């Protein structure tokens, strides 16, 4: 789906109401719930065994015992799609992980995201599902939060983890491409979801929301985004 952010005009859509697993696009809602709760971003959070992915067995550079601020966890979750960071954000909510997931779903309902369901804050479960129409709504609202815009489009970030400095990069290569003016982004991938991408970008003077779901190849979502940009410029 390609949406004009100002007028809400749908410029292009294809299967926009098809409900699919959304992988780490989930983390946009995780970020929204964290920022809406106004939890202190300087509070320190420690990665525990509970944050280790036992569903997909995905790896993480944040070892159990790593302590970072909530703000840094949010940064890594949005920028680098760090699963343990995202899980820790939900787990350390004052009312607990289950309540955090409830808040994700109630926020979705309040935004009119009627075809969306969340079961975890990471997106590792294929039961986290939505469609392009709902995700365009989510991106529009998330864009209103300056911190989500800033952290999701950061090119890279280094954190001190014990005696080591860990360098993380953005999971979306387009943020460092000078041809793009990206105001918000989130990538996603699990086998069931394919390659996914949500972006806000200014193209030919228009602010656009773009949602790409279930791309097959690793670079397909990027190529699709490039095609949409050229198409919008030609209009």
CATH at residue 188: 3.40.710.10
pLDDT in tens, 39-80: 999 999 999 999 999 999 999 999 999 999 999 999 999 999
Q: What is the pLDDT of residue 182?
A: 98
pLDDT above 80: residue 20: yes
Burial class (CB in 10 A: 0-12, 13-18, 19+), 137: buried
Q: What is the pLDDT of residue 234?
A: 92
**How many domains does the structure of the chain reveal?**
1
pLDDT in tens, 134-181: 999 999 999 999 999 999 999 999 999 888 999 999 999 999 999 999
Mean pLDDT of 214-222: 82
Q: What is the pLDDT of residue 216?
A: 82
pLDDT above 80: residue 217: no
pLDDT above 80: residue 219: no
Give the list of residues 6+ apart from residue 188 with CB closer than 8 angstroms, or none. Answer: 22, 23, 24, 25, 26, 27, 81, 123, 195, 196, 197
Global confidence as pTM: 0.96
Cα–Cα dist 5/206, whole Å:
8
Domain boundaries, position 63: 2-234
What value does the mean pLDDT of the chain take?
96
Q: What is the pLDDT of residue 18?
A: 97
Q: What is the pLDDT of residue 97?
A: 98
Residues above pLDDT 90, as percent of the chain: 94
Q: What is the pLDDT of residue 230?
A: 94
As annotated, the active-site residues are 24, 27, 81
Q: What is the pLDDT of residue 162?
A: 83
């Amino acid at each position: 789906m390609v949406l004009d952010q100002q007028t809400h005009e749908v410029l292009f859509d294809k299967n926009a109401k098809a409900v699919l697993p959304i992988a780490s696009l989930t983390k946009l809602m995780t970020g929204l719930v964290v920022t809406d709760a106004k939890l202190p971003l300087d509070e320190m959070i420690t990665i525990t065994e509970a944050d280790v992915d036992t569903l997909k067995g995905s790896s993480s550079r944040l070892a159990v015992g790593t302590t970072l601020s909530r703000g840094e966890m949010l940064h890594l979750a949005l920028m680098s799609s760090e699963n343990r960071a995202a899980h820790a954000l939900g787990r350390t909510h004052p009312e607990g992980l289950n309540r955090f997931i409830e808040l994700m779903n109630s926020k979705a309902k309040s935004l009119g995201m009627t075809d969306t369901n969340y079961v975890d804050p990471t997106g590792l479960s294929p039961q986290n599902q939505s469609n392009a129409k709902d995700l365009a709504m989510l991106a529009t609202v998330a864009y209103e939060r300056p911190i989500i815009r800033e952290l999701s489009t950061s090119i890279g970030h280094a954190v001190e983890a014990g005696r080591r400095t860990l360098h993380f990069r953005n999971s979306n290569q387009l943020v460092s491409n000078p041809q793009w003016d990206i105001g918000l982004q989130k990538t996603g991938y699990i086998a069931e979801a394919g390659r996914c991408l949500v972006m806000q970008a200014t193209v030919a003077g228009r602010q656009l929301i773009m949602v790409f779901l279930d791309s097959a190849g690793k670079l397909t979502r990027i190529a699709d985004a490039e095609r949409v940009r050229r198409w919008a410029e030609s209009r």
